[in-house]
């Protein structure tokens, strides 16, 4: 797991009702238990805390250790700068205790003459994994001071040695890290303690996934994603329009390529309409569309495209020649099912419902969530891309790991919500996300928008109402 996953898991845990207070309590308790298991009790212990959440963990460590040890808590920095509610809460508890000594070291002048001889254990809870670059004062002086006692006292870091990976870091005997080891951590001993994450968090898509997927890249037009949507046929203009509408709230530019007949029905200034002559897409349109794809960061192909005449051949040929990440949806899936080899070497997401999944892979996913997930994972591995199986619970896999999404409701069986989903997934791909994250976060946002519409209107609504709720869903995620 990566450090980024920790933030996503914390947000998703909160969404499941596991509060940051619980996680901080469990983290601090885990560190204290490890210290006592390794070094015994009746010790003189110094805990150094910063003003961030790592420091908050330190406050909990100090309280737990105070039961059978002599504990002094050194706060490095100004107590007014203690950031999170849960860290403040634990600081206030400590201030009310008579058997934990507290010393506030507001600046480096307080640290220079500090004498730590006589302490058996020093706990470092100064900085967490979110800090960048070399530590600044007064933390820098505190790190220097603690390092003077290497070999004289046992030094234990909370999560990772403060200052890591810079050269100015705590020389810890070991660090107590939480739930699982992190890919980025190396060069120091680690003890892993559990802090109460349930198994769901390995697989459940939540607001944390969406929050990271929605990060903006730049300040100028076009820097935050350009998406090309290819769809529509004969009389079908609604599907590609719904995909485009959903996407338009997330990326800077949406190019909507349609045959000119159905394109006549579209009138929306938020989209850049690119009509191609006739009622259906034909192989003669390929060069123009591949040229258009060059301008885009990602492509959605399939909504409402139909399979009249040579349209299927057009879809397969486009996919074979397109170098951009693609979402292949609706009739695009049926076209691909005739020759899965066109996917070789491509970056893509397939978005089938159960029936389309059976057409693609010759097997209908059934049974429990885990059984379905195993089938989706196997097939995603075989085609070398991401498969998003739509259903009451959406299941998403890249052939290695799998996720499931449980936002959404029965009202979303209405036609067109799958088109909105394809647009959202395409938009998140255009923002530069890995396909697994784009598919997972797109499913979450689509279902969340649907849940917001249901709250307002009940279970009878249209897909356009879901598309129009996308900005509300995005705001909810960003504020969560």
Domain with CATH 3.40.1190.20 in the chain: 207-479
For position 335, what pLDDT does the model report? Answer: 98
- SS (HEC) of 268-317: CCCCEEEEECCCCCCHHHHHHHHHHHHHCCEEEECCCCCCCCCHHHHHHH
**Residue 37 vs residues 7, 99, 194: alpha-carbon distances, Å:** 28, 22, 15
Strand order in the sheet with 121-125: 100-105, 70-76, 44-49, 121-125, 154-158, 174-178, 190-193
For 250-269, write each residue's pLDDT tens digit. 999 999 999 999 999 999 99
Q: Per CATH, is 207-479 categorized as 3.10.150.10?
A: no
In tens digits, the chain (480 residues) has pLDDT values of: 888 999 999 999 999 999 999 999 999 999 999 999 999 999 999 999 999 999 999 999 999 999 999 999 999 999 999 999 999 999 999 999 999 999 999 999 999 999 999 999 999 999 999 888 999 999 999 999 999 999 999 999 999 999 999 999 999 999 999 999 999 999 999 999 999 999 999 999 999 999 999 987 778 877 899 999 999 999 799 999 999 999 999 999 999 999 999 999 999 999 999 999 999 999 999 999 999 999 999 999 999 999 999 999 999 999 999 999 999 999 999 999 999 999 999 999 999 999 999 999 999 999 999 999 999 999 999 999 999 999 999 999 999 999 999 999 999 999 999 999 999 999 999 999 999 999 999 999 999 999 999 999 999 999 999 999 999 999 999 999
For position 130, what pLDDT does the model report? Answer: 86
Identify the H or E element spanning 245: helix 238-248
For position 48, what pLDDT does the model report? Answer: 98
**Residue 465 vs residues 145, 160, 267, 326: alpha-carbon distances, Å:** 60, 47, 17, 25
Nearest to 385 by CA among 436, 348, 333: 348
For domain 3-202, the CATH architecture is 3-Layer(aba) Sandwich (3.40)
Question: What percent of the residues of the chain are helix, what percent strand, and what percent coil, each to the nearest 5?
Answer: 45, 15, 40
What is d(CA 479, CA 43) in angstroms, rounded to the nearest whole number?
44
Helix 435-457 and helix 417-430: axis angle, to 10°? 140
For 60-96, write each residue's pLDDT tens digit. 999 999 999 999 999 999 999 999 999 999 999 999 9
Domain with CATH 3.40.50.10260 in the chain: 3-202
Burial of 340 (0-12, 13-18, 19+ CB in 10 A): middle
């Amino acid at each position: 797991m990566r450090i980024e996953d920790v933030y996503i898991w914390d947000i998703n845990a909160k969404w499941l009702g596991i509060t940051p207070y619980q996680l901080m309590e469990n983290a601090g308790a885990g560190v204290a238990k490890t210290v006592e298991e390794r070094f015994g009790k009746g010790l003189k212990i110094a805990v150094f805390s910063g003003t961030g959440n790592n420091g908050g963990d330190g406050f909990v460590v100090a309280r737990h250790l105070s039961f059978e040890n002599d504990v002094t808590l050194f706060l490095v920095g100004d107590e007014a700068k203690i950031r999170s509610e849960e860290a403040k809460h634990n600081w206030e508890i400590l201030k009310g205790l008579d058997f934990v000594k507290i010393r506030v070291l507001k600046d480096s002048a307080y640290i220079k003459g500090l004498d730590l001889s006589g302490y058996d254990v020093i706990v470092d809870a100064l900085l967490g994994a979110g800090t960048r670059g070399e530590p600044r004062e007064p933390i820098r002086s505190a790190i220097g001071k603690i390092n003077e006692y290497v070999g004289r006292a046992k030094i234990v870091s909370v999560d990772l040695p403060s200052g890591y990976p810079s050269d100015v870091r705590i020389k810890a005997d070991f660090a107590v890290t939480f739930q699982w080891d992190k890919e980025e951590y190396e060069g120091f001993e680690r003890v892993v303690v559990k802090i109460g994450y349930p198994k769901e968090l390995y697989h459940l898509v939540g607001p944390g996934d969406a929050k990271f997927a929605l990060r903006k890249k730049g300040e100028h037009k076009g820097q935050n994603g350009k998406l090309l949507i290819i769809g529509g046929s004969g009389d079908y203009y609604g599907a590609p329009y719904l995909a485009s509408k959903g996407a338009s709230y997330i990326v800077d530019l949406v190019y909507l390529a349609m045959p000119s007949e159905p394109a006549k029905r579209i009138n929306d200034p938020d989209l850049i309409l690119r009509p191609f002559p006739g009622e259906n897409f034909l192989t003669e349109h390929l060069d123009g569309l591949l040229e258009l794809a060059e301008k885009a960061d990602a492509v959605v192909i399939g909504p409402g495209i139909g399979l009249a005449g040579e349209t299927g051949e057009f879809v397969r040929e486009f996919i074979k020649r397109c170098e951009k990440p693609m979402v292949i949806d609706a009739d695009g899936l049926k076209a691909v099912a005739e020759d899965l080899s066109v996917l070789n070497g491509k970056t893509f997401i397939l978005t089938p419902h159960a029936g389309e999944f059976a057409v693609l892979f010759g097997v209908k996913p059934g049974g429990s969530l885990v059984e379905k997930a195993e089938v989706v994972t196997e097939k995603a591995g075989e085609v070398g891309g991401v498969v998003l199986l739509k259903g009451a619970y959406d299941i998403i896999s890249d052939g290695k790991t799998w996720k499931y999404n449980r936002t959404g409701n029965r009202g979303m069986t209405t036609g067109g919500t799958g088109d909105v989903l394809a647009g959202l997934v395409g938009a998140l791909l255009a923002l530069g996300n890995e396909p697994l994250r784009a598919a997972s976060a797109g499913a979450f946002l689509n279902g969340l928008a649907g849940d917001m519409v249901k709250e307002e209107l009940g279970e009878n609504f249209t897909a356009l109402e879901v598309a129009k709720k996308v900005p509300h869903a995005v705001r909810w995620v960003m504020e969560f």
